[in-house]
Structure 1
Amino acid sequence: MAGPGDIDAKGACGAAGTKRSAMPEVYVESEFAPLRTVVLAQSEVSIPASAMSSDDMRFLSAESRKEIAGGGDMKDFAPERQARWAGEREAFRAVLERHGVQVHRPRLLTPEEKAAAGDGYANFFARDPFFTVGNQVVEASIRFLHRRREVLPLREVMRDHVYPSDCTYVAAPMPEVAAPDDPTLGPGPFLEGGDVLVLGKKVFVDTSGPASNPLGIQWLAKFLAPYGYTVEQVRLHERILHLDCALGFIKEGLLVASEEALLEGIPESLKEWEKVTVDLDQATSLATNGLPLGPDVYVTDPEFSFLGQEIERFGVRVEYVDFSITRSLGGSFRCSTQPLLRKF
């Protein structure tokens, strides 16, 4: 018989003595199912000079590289910019909460975590360090060295909202250690949340940007197969970091995409969908990285009002939040969030 502090037979995501109906729910049905619970990133980063000089940072514009090339923590070398960045996230949070979304925030990095990270650290895009497919929560395996501990501030969110839920919680395999002069950072496996798009039992993942790689996708396909999911690989232009920077689902039958960024075009299973298109330069500015709050509301940056006007033609309400600082760092609304509950 289990004692008061024992875990019962429901496993790691079940809590002893907790009624199923009282558990927090974790489930992501699709990219546009109504967003009910989400993790919103903090605004904390120190990008190392070694990363800034890497070809893998080619997804950032020359202007963006110049703006963040000061080295060290942004709050120290660009405090005004840091304040504007944090303000963008708070404005976004207000929109989320106005639409009834429950918002969780990761904690800040500790001094010890910053020191252990070595030359740079990150706690700024909640999409990549973990992701949710159905009721499977997966800690990712990130390629960039300064981002590999980015999941740590999220672990408290996991303990509070994932452990008590009726779900699966696993971590992708740790990447292998690469030689110091290996620009690929080794064989991985690498698997990042920005590369993962969920559409029912089908999952789209890219393998050609400087993030997830074939070994990471192979692991994900193997993990998800027993749950009835299929994984389709998508190839990207070298200037695109993640799949959600080239392709986004707005609602059933409607997507936004940069066909220039998709080397083999729109995936076959999506070719009958209506599409709003952007060019490659707009994609690198994060035009496709808006966030549906459901099939009838979409959030994007006023920089992309031309896109918002097109989306509104399909009966979707568009909300605008200035995310210019966030976008200069290589991510936008989808990158800044990770859903725990998206369900009709």
Structure 2
Amino acid sequence: MKLNVKNETSRLRAVVLGTAVSNGAVPKVEEAYDPKSIEHIKAGTYPKEEDMVAEMTAVANVFEKYDVKVFRPQIIENYNQIFARDIALVIEDKFVKSNILPDREKEIQAIQYVIDEIAPDKVYKAPSDDIHFEGGDIMLHNDHIFIGTYKGEDYSDCIVARTNMKGVSYIQSLFPNKIVKEFDLNKSMDDPRDNALHLDCCFQPVGKNKAIIHKEGFRNLNDYQYLVDLFGNENLFHIDKNEMYHMNSNIFSISEDVVISEKGFTRLNSWLRSLNITVEEVPYSEIAKQEGLLRCSTMPLIRD
């Protein structure tokens, strides 16, 4: 397989879509990795497997409609394999395995059959365990690579901080000709409305030089201003805390003029349609309860 991904919006040809089959029991509070999951565990509203399977099937059907080749993870019994974006990513023609939470190491094994189709010299893994990054924090924009990180002194104790500056440096080393720009994100284990778990929880390019953004997701306002200057304020769709909580920035582009979005994102979807973008609406509010949405559950392999 010849990989090719240079941005978030070029025409998609092949993708890994996670799976909710055999997702396992509702986790205990102490087993959860993010404040939104904890909120739903405590409230007794944690998503049911059959509902999540139905939501992911709706996405698979959209991919089929647009003739996108879809790979699914092999099923690991009683194991959460929804968020394929976390475990690896493709940049240009390189497949880069993430250094993720140790409890999730099995997930990459479930797509080994996909990795076996890639030339071995195009598959990369960080050389040491203290280099941390996940795919949700890494966003491609042609000559730019945007990377979400956390620079707080409590990084090592902050389970919602998934990408460190060593991870940023490692990606820079693989792509020395790219402009690698890191963004210091706000994190909270207590309030999901104050927690930008990954960069795609508060920012994502869409269409032609447009982007969705949540200003309060950035710890450093200079980082936010960098994106305003790059895209132009008139090209940014600002979402509020509630829209960020419901994951409005975590939609997924099949092309510059086709996106998959949650059907409840009425304000966002209206804006997208005003740009002459086709919005394929799907139900995804149950999966959103785990603080991830459409971008989180997809890993593009080939875009035109």
Shorter chain as normaliser: what TM range?
0.7 to 0.9
Q: Give me the whole-angstrom Cα distance separating, in 1, the residues matched to 2:45 and 2:103.
A: 15
Q: Give me the whole-angstrom Cα distance separating, in 1, the residues matched to 2:216 and 2:29.
A: 30
Q: Secondary structure at the match of 2:296?
A: coil
Following TM superposition, by how much is the alpha carbon of 1:59 offset from its aligned partner in structure 2, in angstroms?
Answer: 4.7
Q: Give me the whole-angstrom Cα distance separating, in 2, the residues matched to 1:58 and 1:277.
A: 23
Q: Kindly provide the CA deviation profile for residues 260-282 of structure 1, in whole angstroms up to 9, marking residues without a partner as x.
A: 11232243452426011111221
Residues 107 and 68 (structure 1), Cα distance of their counterparts in 2 relative to 1, 3 Å cut: farther
8 Å CA contact retained: 1:59, 1:240 = no
Pick one of 70, 95, 99 that aligns with 1:103: 70
Following TM superposition, by how much is the alpha carbon of 1:201 offset from its aligned partner in structure 2, in angstroms?
Answer: 2.3
1:272 paired residue number: 232
| Match status 1:234 vs 2:176 | no
1:86 paired residue number: 53
| Match status 1:332 vs 2:293 | yes
1:196 paired residue number: 138
- Identical aligned residues as a percent: 22
Following TM superposition, by how much is the alpha carbon of 1:124 offset from its aligned partner in structure 2, in angstroms?
Answer: 1.6
RMSD, matched Cα: 2.1
| Match status 1:33 vs 2:10 | yes
Residues 50 and 145 (structure 1), Cα distance of their counterparts in 2 relative to 1, 3 Å cut: farther
Residues 192 and 99 (structure 1), Cα distance of their counterparts in 2 relative to 1, 3 Å cut: same
Pick one of 244, 264, 268 that aligns with 1:303: 264
Q: Give me the whole-angstrom Cα distance separating, in 2, the residues matched to 1:168 and 1:139.
A: 11
8 Å CA contact retained: 2:28, 2:41 = no
Q: Give me the whole-angstrom Cα distance separating, in 2, the residues matched to 1:271 and 1:151.
A: 34
Q: Give me the whole-angstrom Cα distance separating, in 1, the residues matched to 2:202 and 2:41.
A: 19
8 Å CA contact retained: 2:36, 2:289 = no
Q: Secondary structure at the match of 1:87?
A: helix
Q: Secondary structure at the match of 1:92?
A: helix
Following TM superposition, by how much is the alpha carbon of 1:299 offset from its aligned partner in structure 2, in angstroms?
Answer: 1.0
2:103 paired residue number: 146
Pick one of 174, 180, 187 that aligns with 1:223: 174
Q: Give me the whole-angstrom Cα distance separating, in 2, the residues matched to 1:38 and 1:57.
A: 26
1:314 paired residue number: 275
Gaps of 5+ in 1: 1-23, 70-77, 115-120, 176-187
Pick one of 113, 120, 125 that aligns with 1:156: 113
Q: Give me the whole-angstrom Cα distance separating, in 1, the residues matched to 2:199 and 2:238.
A: 15
Q: Kindly provide the CA deviation profile for residues 63-114 of structure 1, in whole angstroms up to 9, marking residues without a partner as x.
A: 3653477xxxxxxxx8xx211111111111001110111111110126xxx7
Instruction: Normalising by structure 1, report the TM-score.
Output: 0.76
1:128 paired residue number: 86
Q: Give me the whole-angstrom Cα distance separating, in 1, the residues matched to 2:127 and 2:45.
A: 31
Q: Secondary structure at the match of 1:109?
A: coil
Q: Relative to structure 2, which stretch is displaced further, 271-280 or 241-250?
A: 271-280
8 Å CA contact retained: 2:34, 2:290 = no
2:35 paired residue number: 58
Q: Secondary structure at the match of 2:174?
A: helix
- For these two proteins, the number of residue pairs brought into alignment is 280
Q: Read off the aligned partner of 2:30 and give its amino acid letter.
A: S
8 Å CA contact retained: 1:122, 1:146 = no
Q: Give me the whole-angstrom Cα distance separating, in 1, the residues matched to 2:44 and 2:127.
A: 34
Q: Give me the whole-angstrom Cα distance separating, in 2, the residues matched to 1:141 and 1:154.
A: 15
Q: Secondary structure at the match of 1:267?
A: helix
Q: Kindly provide the CA deviation profile for residues 7-54 of structure 1, in whole angstroms up to 9, marking residues without a partner as x.
A: xxxxxxxxxxxxxxxxx32100210011111011011545454233xx
From the CA coordinates, give the structure whose radius of gyration is larger.
Answer: 1
Q: Give me the whole-angstrom Cα distance separating, in 2, the residues matched to 1:83 and 1:222.
A: 42
8 Å CA contact retained: 2:138, 2:148 = yes
Residues 197 and 65 (structure 1), Cα distance of their counterparts in 2 relative to 1, 3 Å cut: farther
1:248 paired residue number: 204
Q: Give me the whole-angstrom Cα distance separating, in 1, the residues matched to 2:105 and 2:172.
A: 22
Q: Give me the whole-angstrom Cα distance separating, in 2, the residues matched to 1:32 and 1:193.
A: 16
Residues 316 and 105 (structure 1), Cα distance of their counterparts in 2 relative to 1, 3 Å cut: same
Instruction: Normalising by structure 2, report the TM-score.
Output: 0.85
Q: Secondary structure at the match of 1:205?
A: strand
| Match status 1:173 vs 2:122 | no
Following TM superposition, by how much is the alpha carbon of 1:60 offset from its aligned partner in structure 2, in angstroms?
Answer: 4.2
